[in-house]
Each structure stands twice: as C-alpha cells, then as structure tokens.
A and B are shown apart, each in its own frame.
Chain A
Amino acid sequence: MALTKKDWKELFIGIGFLLPNILGFLAFTVIPLVMSIYMAFTDWNLEMHNYFRSEPISFVWFDNFVKLFSDPDFPQYFGNTFFMMIGIPFGVAGSLVAALLLNMDFVKGDNRKRLTVTMILTAVMVCCFGLLAVLGLGGTGMTILMVSLVGGVLILGSIGGKTVYRTLFYFPYFTAGVATYILWKKLYSPENGPINNALRPLLDALTPVAILISPACEAIGIGLLVVVGLFYLCMVRRKLRLWRDGESGSVSIWLGMILSSLPLIFAWWWVSPTWLHIAGKEEALSLLSRNANWVLLLMLIFLGIGWGRFLYNFFFVGRKYTCIIDRGIGDSTIVDGSAMVLNMALVGLCCVFWILPEMAAAEEGLTPPNWTSDYYWAKPALLIMGFWGAIGSNNMLLYLAGLSGVPQELYEAADIDGATPWQRFWNITWPQLSNVTFFIMIMAVIGGLQGGFDMARVMTDGGPAGSTTTLAYYIYTQGFGTGRLGYASAVSWLLFLMVFIVTMFNWKFGNRYTNE
C-alpha cells in the first residue's frame, strides 16, 4: 500500500502534533522497557556497572528468576502483597455504604424539612451542653471537644446535606500521602499515641470480662468456625441456585467453589497445629499451643457437605437452564472473593479468641498492641489505615455516579411488588452496579499488586522482620538499596506478569459482564 502525497502530509501533521509526547514516550517508556527486559537477564549492579565504572556486564539468563524463587524470604513478601489486598473488599464495601447513604432521597430533602431538622438538632445539642454543664460532666476538655465536633458536623451536615458529608468523607483519601502516613505513625505510637491511650482504659475494663469468658473461649472459637462453615454452605447454596438457573456458567461455579473453600482450608493452617507439625514449623506452636484436631474434623465435615452437594448437583442433577460456560464469572469473583475474605476474617477472629485466655491471664492483663512495631499487628495496622482512606475514595464517587444511573422505574416496580429494602438492594441496586463494582475491583487489585511502597517506606521500613515488605518495596530495597538492578528488574517483571494476568482477565470477562 503506497502512501499518496496526501497521506504523507496527514502523517506529517499528525506526527507533528504527537512529537513532543512521543519523544518522551520513547525516551521514558519504550527505551527503559527494552532496557528493563535486558537488565532482568543480567547481573547489572549499580555499584559495578555505571557511568563511572563499567565492568563487563554478564548475561545470566534466568539466574535472577531462579534466585528469586529460591529466596527463602520471597514467599513471605509475596504473601504480604496478597495479605494487604484483604482490605480491598472492606474498602469497597465501605465506599458502597457511604454512597448508598449519601444517595438516599432524604439527604437531599426539601428545604423546609431540612430546616426543621437543623433547628431540632441544634436545640438538642444546646440541651446536651446545658446538661453537661449542670451535671458537671463537662469538666474535661475532651468531652467538650468531642461533643462540639460531633455537634458541629451534625449541624453543618443537616444544613449542607450531601455536599458537606461527601467533602468530609473524601478528605482522608484526598490528602493520602507521606504526610498522612506520618500522622498515622504517630497515632499508632505504642507508648503515647492517641489510639493506645484510648484503648488502654477500655482494655483494662475488658480484662475481667476476658478472664471471665476464658473457659468459654474454646466454645466461642468453635462457634465462630461453625458460623464460617454455615456461611460457606450458604455460599454453596447460592452458587448452585445461580448455576441451576443458568445465571452462572461452569467455570464460574468451579472458581466460586474453590474460592469459598479456601478459608476452611486456611482454618487448618491457622487454628490447628497439626499442620504445623507436618510443615515442620514447631516453633510456631507457641502462639497456638493447643491441640485442635477437632478443627480439622469440623472443617472437613463442612467441606464434605459443601463439595458433596456441589458435585452431586453438578454431575447427577444437572441444570435447568443452560448458559455459556464462563457466564457470571465477574459476579462470582466479586461475591465469592468478598465472602472468602469475610470468612478469612472470621477465622482470624477465632484465632484471637483462641489466644485470648493466655493474653488475659498475663500479669498486666490485656494490653493494646504495638501496632507498626509488632510483627503480627503491623499489617492489620496498615489495613486499618487503608480502610480509613478507602471509604471516601474515588470509588465512592464512582458508586454515586453509578447509583444515579439506576433507572427509577425499577424501584417503583419493586415498591408495587412490595419488596423489602434488602430485596431492593440485592435484586436491583447490586446487579445494576455490577459493572462499576467489577471495574473498581479490578483497578483495586492492580493497584494492590503494585502497592504498599509508600506506607512501608514511611511507617515501617518494611519491617518488623519483613512483615510489611510488599513486592514494590522489595524491588525498591533490592534495586536502590543494595544496587542489584538486574535482580530488581526481574522482580518487577514478575510483578508485571501478575498485573498482566489481572488485566487480561478484565479484558476477557469485564466487557461481557458489563453487557449482561
């Protein structure tokens, strides 16, 4: 295909406009990209191969990758990266709740109503202050501070409505960065941080309770695990119903079954020391020093019922309506993934109850955790901070936009049919928002894979003992800390591979899911 003179002219102009951008694109994206591939297969080292000192670079083929996978710490960093993603469903759920609340008709309200509310609330506030003054409870500045804070927001919010709350929700996300991480590090400060200052009296009060329920802790643990199991069975039932009705295909039901089984398998790992024996990690027993073979049994029973039901239905009963094989895969990823995380959290809670008696029996009773300087608490600390920032994030705004796009007729029809709010949500709002949710989840997972650098650098330096080192932080320490650029490049390509898989998943299933 020869180019005519006109084509050349168009090309010339087109490239002309593109020129500044494409030069930068070549210099800072394409060339580095090629270099990076090359570097990943060499022993390029900042100390030895740079502008001032260039020893020969040797090509090591896959040595970097071999080294990476044989690094004993690598599974931990890999696991950390995924552990930090536990926060995603909670953050998204928080955003959704915030958006739903903000979207309710009566926040917008008509002016007369809003004015009445404002006046009444103000009156209540004044009365509260008066009461405090009379009873003498207002002596401490803290009470006044809290009351006036709550009161101020309440009055402001009932006047300004949606905008005020949205702005306040959005603040943490908007300001997130080194500054807020430093702030949180101070909040988490073990000796005199405000969080622990507030927790100490609370935990002191709880210590007798903990001692009191100590004998029952095991039972509570069992109870929690039973809840986990029942929740799992509910999920199986839901999946089977969707599958039977042709709402979800075979791939998605298998995916969902595997996802929802994971917490039960993890319960063995976390609660039952039997597996630690097998794994040869006897030293980890000190944390959970009890023998809990019954956990294994309990979880096996639940798994047996769930999988038995599933396999029986899958192979012998069959479905009522057929559908394409990968239909509903987005739904199963979101719902089952979130349910899995929730179940994992319940198993974690069970572990807490498991060690509660020992903690309460200690001399000083229950003590607040050391947060970022504690091996086990550092990650939850970062997760809590992440949750704080995630509620009012862009996701909330995306959900608000999504909610405004839901046709009102659907709700009207539902009202005529006498649907409860719960039914309205699950049968109208949630399906209508599914494409927004899918988009948010995919973006969050992609961000999560690459994330954790800023937090780790500012708050924990990747520690204690590597418990907050994510892949991104590992790349930083390897590449710029110790100067092993070749090795760091190899890790970054592994990271790319994971992002690539998620993106492909999005491409393949994202659009189809949206169109359903």
Chain B
Amino acid sequence: MQEKNRFWGGFAKLVSLNVVLTLMAVLLVLPFTWMILASLKVLDEIGYDSWLPEVCQWHNYRDVFTRKGIFFGRWYWNTVFVSCWITFLQVFTSSLAAFSFSRLRWKGRDQVFFLYLATMMLPGLVMMIPNYQNMILFGLVDSYTGLILPAAFSAFGTFLMRQFMMNIPKSLDEAAEIDGATKWQLYWDVVLPLARPALVTLTIFTFIGSYNNLFWPLVLMKTPDKYTLPIGMLSFQSSQGQETNLLMAAVAMSVVPMIVIFVLMQKQLVKGIMLGGVKG
C-alpha cells in the first residue's frame, strides 16, 4: 500500500512539475510565437486581437530582401563574413598566446599575464573612444578591416584558453620533447587537439558576440550597404519601422543562425559556460 502511495505521490509531483515548467517555458516562448505569426500577416492585421494571420503571407520573407533601401541579404553576408573573420583570428591568436602563457616558461611570463587579466576589468567603453580616433587616423572608418581588427584580440579568450590548457597534463610536453618535437609541433599536434572543448566554446562565444555586436559597427560604419545586421536592423526600424510584418520577418531571419548554432552546439556550450564561468 505504502509502495503504491509513493508511486502515485511521485506521479502527481511529476505531472505538476511538468505543468509548472511548461507554463514557464510557454511564457518565455510567447514573444517568439507572436514574432513568427506577425511576420506572416498583412500589415493591416497586425493590430488585431487575434495573433493568427488570415492567410499566411510567406512572401513577406521574400519582400524583405527586395525592399528598397534595405540590403538585407548584403547585411546578412556582411555579418557572417565579419563574424567568421573575427572568430577565426581571435581563436587563433588567443590559443597561441594561451599556449605561451600555460605551456612555455619564460621570464616575466606571469607578470605579462597579470597585465592581461587586469585589462579584463576595464569597461570596453573606455577603449572605444581612442580606438575610434585611431581608426580615423589609419583611414579604417567604414571598412571591414576596422570592424575586424580590434575584435581579433581578446584578453578574455586568452584567459579562457589558458585555464583549459593548464589542465592538460605536462607529461605530454616532455614526451613530445623526447621525441624531438619543436614548440610549434607541440602546440599544433599535441596541445591544440586536446584543447578542443575550449576551442569550440570560444568559437561559439566569439561568433555570437560579434554577430550581435552593436556598438562598434554603429560607430564605425557609414555606408548602408556595408552595415552588419544589428545596425542594418536598426536602420530598417527607423526608416520603415511602421511595416511591422516585414520587420518581424527580418527579425525572425536574423535570429535563425543563432538558434541553429544553439541547437547544434548545445552540449558544448553548456560545458563551456561552466568552464568560463565557475573558474573565472
């Protein structure tokens, strides 16, 4: 009898817990639901109480690309292009530096690393203003180079990679050295493959960070067809923001890459957050 009661007690708990979690999840997802449905409406339907479109206007999605003054496809491409470069460069330079900080021994290493750490607490805003001056000086305003370069080096990335590389057994280095490996081989063939989880994490974080970055492109980019998505969306909103249905279609499309990354990379991401968070 008792056994049975426990089963049904646990059962009731299970159901109620599922209901609570579902209600929370639905509340969180509601805005996205509205977004998708609104993007399928005709403009006049937007303000209606019912969220559902009479007839799904799938061509809204196509219209976003053909709308005058909205270079949506171009912005999409720009963002992906810039983000990929930033991600590649940042991961590469960070892993090199982290290798030097964690696996090599040289005088002054820890002092330099401390300097890196110290700059991590500087608000990014402090550096933005002089950086903009430098961009003017080097004629990089309104160029992709100007967007990519400052973001290609990161103290945080170095820190994250170093923390991970510190945990790779030192004996591997010695073994490799006995086999006559150079430092570069040690980096490329031994440490880097083992640091894969950290690499993946940093890649995801950097990509998403630069995909969403608003401040720097907003300051730097002047020509509309060179915009990245965030500032593109901003100008879309301010110039043709009344057309909610098209705007929502654009929003939906700009969110898609992140959802794809998230669903594909969920496991690594969750691990990575523990890596960067708990120890940082």
Contacts and interface: CB of A to CB of B under 8 A. Distances in A.
B130 A39 contact: yes
B21 A398 contact: no
A153 B234 contact: no
Contacts of B137: 51
Contacts of A51: 136-137, 139
Contact of A106 (B14, B46, B116, B125): B14
A470 to B, nearest CB: 11
Contacts of B22: 150, 153-154, 157, 165
Contacts of B166: none
Contacts of A3: 107
Most buried by A among B26, B38, B233, B262: B26
B172 interface: no
B219 A24 contact: no
A500 B100 CA distance: 28
A422 to B, nearest CB: 16
Interface of A is mostly: helix
A493 to B, nearest CB: 7
Contacts of A180: 31, 251, 255
Interface of B is mostly: helix
Interface residues of B, number: 101
A75 interface: no
B31 A184 contact: yes
A187 B211 CA distance: 23
A116 B240 CA distance: 51
Interface stretch (A6-14, A78-86, A262-270, A407-415): A6-14
B239 interface: no
Interface stretch (B55-63, B64-72, B173-181, B266-274): B266-274
Interface in B82-111: 92-94, 96-97, 99-101, 104-109
Contacts of A493: 126
B25 A7 contact: no
B51 A142 contact: yes
Interface string A145-165: 100011001100110000111
B32 A171 contact: yes
B31 A479 contact: no
B26 A167 contact: no
A134 interface: no
B107 to A, nearest CB: 6
Contact of A192 (B28, B47, B183): B47
Contacts of A142: 49-52
Contacts of B244: 186, 189
B19 interface: yes
A457 B112 CA distance: 37
B279 to A, nearest CB: 10
A393 to B, nearest CB: 10
Given A13-B104, A140-B50, A29 B11 contact: no
A347 interface: no
Interface residues of A, number: 110
Interface in A1-47: 3, 7, 10-11, 13-18, 20-25, 27-33, 35-36, 39
A14 B130 contact: no
B5 to A, nearest CB: 15
Contacts of A394: 273, 277
B1 interface: no
Contacts of B34: 187, 194
Given A32-B134, A178-B233, A397-B273, A388 B31 contact: yes
B26 A182 contact: no
Contacts of A25: 116, 119, 153, 155
B247 interface: yes
A392 B21 CA distance: 12
Nearest to B187: A17
A36 B18 contact: no
A475 B129 CA distance: 9
B145 interface: no
A489 interface: yes
A121 interface: yes
B278 to A, nearest CB: 6
A194 B32 CA distance: 12
Contact of B126 (A36, A98, A165): A36
Contacts of A476: 215
Contacts of A157: 18, 21-22, 25
A453 interface: yes
A178 B75 CA distance: 14
Interface in A209-260: none
A401 interface: yes
B93 to A, nearest CB: 4
Interface in B219-241: 219, 229-231, 233-234, 237
Contacts of B131: 28, 32
B78 interface: no
Contact of B112 (A13, A18, A149, A398): A18
A330 interface: no
A425 interface: no
Interface in B241-280: 244, 247-248, 251, 254-255, 258-259, 262-263, 266, 270, 273-274, 277-278
A511 to B, nearest CB: 13
B149 interface: yes
Nearest to A18: B100
B140 to A, nearest CB: 11
B237 A11 contact: no
Given A17-B187, A458-B234, A150 B153 contact: no
Contacts of B21: 101-102, 107, 157, 165
A151 to B, nearest CB: 9
A153 B107 contact: no
Contact of A496 (B122, B133, B149): B122
A183 B125 contact: no
Contacts of A176: 212
A50 to B, nearest CB: 6
Given A397-B270, A499-B122, 5 more contacts: A29-B127, A106-B10, A183-B31, A454-B215, A475-B125
10 contacts: A11-B108, A21-B94, A24-B153, A102-B21, A104-B17, A114-B14, A154-B22, A163-B266, A178-B212, A178-B233
